[in-house]
Amino acid sequence: SLHGNEISELPDGIFSDTGYKEPGIARCAGPTGMEGKLLLTTPAKKFECHGEVDSGVLAKCNPCLSSPCVNQGICHSDLAEIYRCSCPPGFKGRNCETSLNVCVSNPCVNGGTCQINEEEEEGGYRCACPFGFDGPTCLTNIDDCEDNDCENGATCIDGVNNYTCLCPPYYTGEVCEEMEDVCAPGLNPCQHQSTCLITSTGPQCVCSPGYVGDDCSVDYDDCEENRCQNKAQCVDQLNGYSCSCPDGYSGQLCEVPPSPRSLCDLADCQNGAPCVERAGRALCQCLPGFGGPRCEKLVSVNFVDRNSYLLLSDLKNWPQANITLQVSTAEENGILLYNGDNDHIAVEMYQGHVKVSYDPGSQPGHAIYSTETINDGQFHTVELVTFDQMVNLSIDGGLPTTMDSLRGVRPLNGEAPLYVGGMPVDVHSAAFRLWQIPNGSSFHGCIQNLYINNELQDFTKTQMKPGVVPGCEPCRKIYCLNGICQPDGAQGPSYRCECVEGYRGALCNQQGELFNTCHSNNCKHGRCQISDTGDAYCHCEAGYIGNLCD
């Protein structure tokens, strides 16, 4: 009893979990309503349980109420031992918690089979592991790569009871035993028709000449090691280079220095003129028709058409003038020079002589004639000099013919052009109407070396109408358009055109005559020609005359 309380018998240790050492001051931890009550002084009726009692309280008196036995063990209350568990077969322990069959918990992993080891007293077992695993519980994956067949430096990847070979570049196959065809179309990395070789380390490119790089994609700059000399510029080419030489240098590497410049190198002869050195001077040998120190001027022209002429503009008004020209013709009449409008000055052929006329417009005109005739086909120099109230005309340096007592002679009018060898139709008509020129036919022949006040005139700076050709040499192929050119020695440095059938005219440039009059003209010792008017005439051989050259 506890000091008079009628608790006659309590299991030993029932209050051992209260934490108190002396019963006299022990207090109740529960149940509800008893918390903190002193065991010594609490009335006994307070220890009577009414209604449903908490299992934890009842377990203080009957420990089997908390079912401490597991695995279907049977609990027995025993005051001496508080409680004990009767374990079913295969289990043991205070609460039957220990299984005598360790395979129940399936300790084997990775698909291993647990087998009880009957040779051991208790808890003995072993695991029968599947292929690829090892260890007491089959936890260890066997390293299948320890004995692998991977080739060519492949990496072995361990699996379960197998392995995989991770092939290096350019190899294939289960164990990387095959080399890929890295030179096959679509895989060949070599460019510019280079050769692809299969090696153990992959494709190798043997580059075509002029290319470099692993894949031969780079055009090698051959100029990096060029041997161009004398500051020449290197030009890269395929598998080579060339040297662009500075002025004067030559040779494959520009190694040849320029030759000392000769006088002719500095002469600058023009219009195809060759150069020669004579007495320490460079001389330009002008081709026919050209003149000047460098043959830069066209100085002779051939008037081959009856309606052709030259026009010189930008003339100056000179108070006096000296005009010189050389003339070759076989014609009797033709205009050589014409300048002015109402007050004109004209130089013309008249019945083989040279006529100079001057008409001031406000007074009667004046004219002078040369005593010489110049229509023999040879070149003759015509010189016209004006000063004060006089005009002098001389032929080939002979005695001059003078026109004097003129008022205010103005030989060249800068406001009007200077016509050479003819004039336009409207100007000719006006001059003919005013009786300035009674016979206004165009000149037919050659004019060369026209000087005005000692200045040689350049015919390339004139307006040259059709029918005027450069030079006075006969039989240039450009003359006869539809015929064959033949030199005409009887008329000096001239020519004639033998027209093919169907063409006529001086240049064989007129087509489609209705009737060829030569068909009825039988020249004995000559050749029939058709004039510009369409008439047939015989061009006689040397030593023959007459209408039929007979």
Contact 525, 542 (CB under 8 A): no
- Which residue do the tokens 């039957």 mark? 96
Rounded Cα gap, residues 77 and 543, in angstroms:
180
In this prediction, residue 291 carries a pLDDT of 86
Partners of 383 in the beta sheet? 324, 394
Q: Are 307 and 354 in contact (CB under 8 A)?
A: no
Number of domain units in the chain: 3
Same domain, 403 and 520: no
d(CA 154, CA 41): 89
Is residue 363 in some structural domain?
yes
- Domain housing 170: 146-179
Say if residue 335 is in the same domain as residue 448: yes
Same domain, 303 and 339: yes
| Assigned domain for 423 exists | yes
Cβ partners under 8 Å of residue 11, min gap 6: 60, 61, 79, 82
Q: In angstroms, what CA-CA distances link 285 with 204, 282, 458?
A: 68, 10, 17
- The per-residue pLDDT for 246 is 93
Q: Do both 328 and 436 map to the same domain?
A: yes
Same domain, 378 and 329: yes
Per-residue pLDDT at 17: 53
| DSSP secondary structure letters along 142-198 | P-GGGG----TTPEEEE-SS-EEEEPPTTEESTTS-EE--TTSTTT----TTPEEEE
Q: Residue 203 in contact with residue 182, Cβ under 8 Å?
A: yes
Look up the pTM and report it. Answer: 0.44
pLDDT at site 5: 47
Q: Are 321 and 371 within one domain?
A: yes
Domain harbouring 409, CATH code? 2.60.120.200
78, part of any domain: no
Residue stretches of the chain with pLDDT short of 50: 1-8, 19-21, 80, 435-436, 477-478, 489-493, 514
Q: Is residue 503 situated within a structural domain?
A: yes
